Amino acid sequence: MRKFLALLFFICSVLPSGAQTWTVYTDVNTSTQLPHNLVWSVNNDLQNNLWFCTEYGISKFDGSNWTSYPAVNGRPVQHVYAMAEDAQGKKWFATSDGLLTFDGSSWERLTYGIETCVVVDSENKKWIASPGGITVMSGSATTKYSETDGLVNNAVTCIEIDNSGRKWFGTINGVSMFDGTRFVNYTTYNGLINNIVHAITCDSEGNLWFATEGGVSKFDGTQWTGYDKDDGLPSNSVWSVFIDDQGAKLFGTCRGVAVFDDVSWSLIPASVGLANENVYSIAYDSQKNIWFGTYAGATKFNGSVYDSYFRVSGLLSNIINCSAIDNHGNIWIGTRQGASRFDGTRWFNLTVEEGLPNNNVNSIAIDSNDNVWMATDDGAAVYDGSSVTIYNTSDGLAHNSVNCVAIDPQGNKWFGTYMGVSRFDGTSWTNYTVQDGLASYVVRTIAFDTKGNIWFGYGLDISTYHKGVTKFDGTTWKTYTKDDGLVDNGVYVIVEDKTGLIWFGTNEGMSSFDGTNWTSYTTDNGLPNKLVFSIAVDDQNNKWIGTGAYLMKYDGKNWSTHYNWDIYGPGCIQTITIDESGTIWIGTCADGVWKYKQ
């Protein structure tokens, strides 16, 4: 069925996208093998390649190598439901974002909007299904069919061409047969077992098999026969029909695969080796191996052995919490699903399976020995290049919910938690709370200045009551709030620039502090968005500012926004890190990592 069921602000300059070099890394375009594990359709082309239509992207497999297409002309490929190949070898893809074609070298988007299925007939006409009916493309001519022409329902989910060339359309309210002149409709009233039709297949004898939400129907042109759980199906929710060379029918259901040889039934459960029990597509490859597209991967069966293929993760998640550059120039990225390291070519990941206490990595800091320290929702962790060591309250950490980690010039590790701050010198722990001088127990960010002060920010949280920032010089604690000149008490980030100014990103803009005077910047005088989540300072003392909407640069006099209008981003920015080459790495709230070079 292919699942349609299932700036106006004050700045001095806006740079055109052509003046910028952007690279975007997401969990889809950095993965190998499948771009996504949900496989809606598996298809074999004339060159004996297999094509996998997935929830996010398309993959081609030639038997040895995988090629993925997560985006077409800069636009992400989403919800790919079906593929067909025409007489010229061009591939046609039905997606939730339109009809795509690929001639082997270039892509073209022909339509926008949901297309649920595409097939090519013997005359090289393309029949395209959508929630609005049927479109037929023949050269430059287009013909449309809908309920007003006789179609049983406009919401078409699948198409099959029978042995006589007649077109069969499965919908959410029955089946239509079109002989080129008129439509004939069939529903449960006529004998169809259920009106929600996911797939149709014609066997060598001309029988039509219908996979529906209520079981399977067979139609021989006159008589309907229904099959459900009482007959041998593991589930009445049937998504795919495949007929092998011996005439056996394989039905992909949400509880595995049922095999019917016209006499008896057998079951292929997930436990024998399927990637997942939800099977949406079944197909042969050129070697007659059977491939199953499932909810969580693709499986090949060679007659005796099941082999499954999955998305091999690059970047673990598109929700980026933090980033840091290690001593070898690799970038480390903390996500909701673990930590990812990228060396410019290869990705390496750390999750709970590799020893992390929790996959939500809130903050990362690198020490002089290139150890990677991570703050997580269930303790602190350090990775030494080979193994992970965990620290929690039993070791001396103030609280296991750790928001941030920072390393001072002496090599001490500081952790901001939900119960104050912990300092670890490699041997012993020292904890600080509101009784010592913190303004709140919940510490969101920690920074050090060149005068030896430690700064603590409390973020924006109901539990913190917007406490501002606190400076600790090793002896004395002092808290600054809006009453002192800070633009807002909800502070997300603290950074010192090349001249010694301390910069604060807050919920209502940005402030700088020279030790005496405060200067604030809001949407009234330069910022396009009041939420300032991140600030980084480059070698020229430019401030790069990540807001809730755009990337900004401030050179001390002028503001500029940096945004790629071709691919719409980066938007909401959580973290900014600048490497030794001056490349700016931008971690976003939901759109992965963006690399920017001027």
Tell me the mean pLDDT per 10 residues along the chain, length 598: 34 40 82 90 96 96 91 89 97 97 95 96 97 96 97 98 97 98 97 98 97 98 97 97 97 97 95 96 95 96 94 90 96 97 94 96 97 98 97 98 97 97 97 96 96 92 70 97 94 97 96 96 87 96 93 91 75 94 94 90
State the pLDDT at residue 567: 63
CATH superfamily label, 320-597: YVTN repeat-like/Quinoprotein amine dehydrogenase (2.130.10.10)
Q: For residue 47, which of 88, 81, 94 has the smallest C-alpha distance?
A: 88
State the pLDDT at residue 31: 78
Q: For residue 500, which of 451, 553, 533 has the smallest C-alpha distance?
A: 451
Identify whether the C-beta of residue 477 lies closer than 8 Å to the C-beta of residue 437: yes
Identify whether the C-beta of residue 129 lies closer than 8 Å to the C-beta of residue 94: yes
State the pLDDT at residue 461: 56
Identify whether the C-beta of residue 292 lies closer than 8 Å to the C-beta of residue 42: yes
Identify whether the C-beta of residue 598 lies closer than 8 Å to the C-beta of residue 51: no
Distance of CA 384 to the CA centre of its chain: 29
Q: How far apart are CA 227 and CA 265, in angstroms?
A: 11
Distance of CA 428 to the CA centre of its chain: 41
Identify whether the C-beta of residue 322 lies closer than 8 Å to the C-beta of residue 331: no
Q: How far apart are CA 197 and CA 187, in angstroms?
A: 10
Residue where the block lists tokens 């700088």:
512
Q: How far apart are CA 145 and CA 135, in angstroms?
A: 6
Q: For strands 13-14 and 559-562, give the pairing.
A: parallel
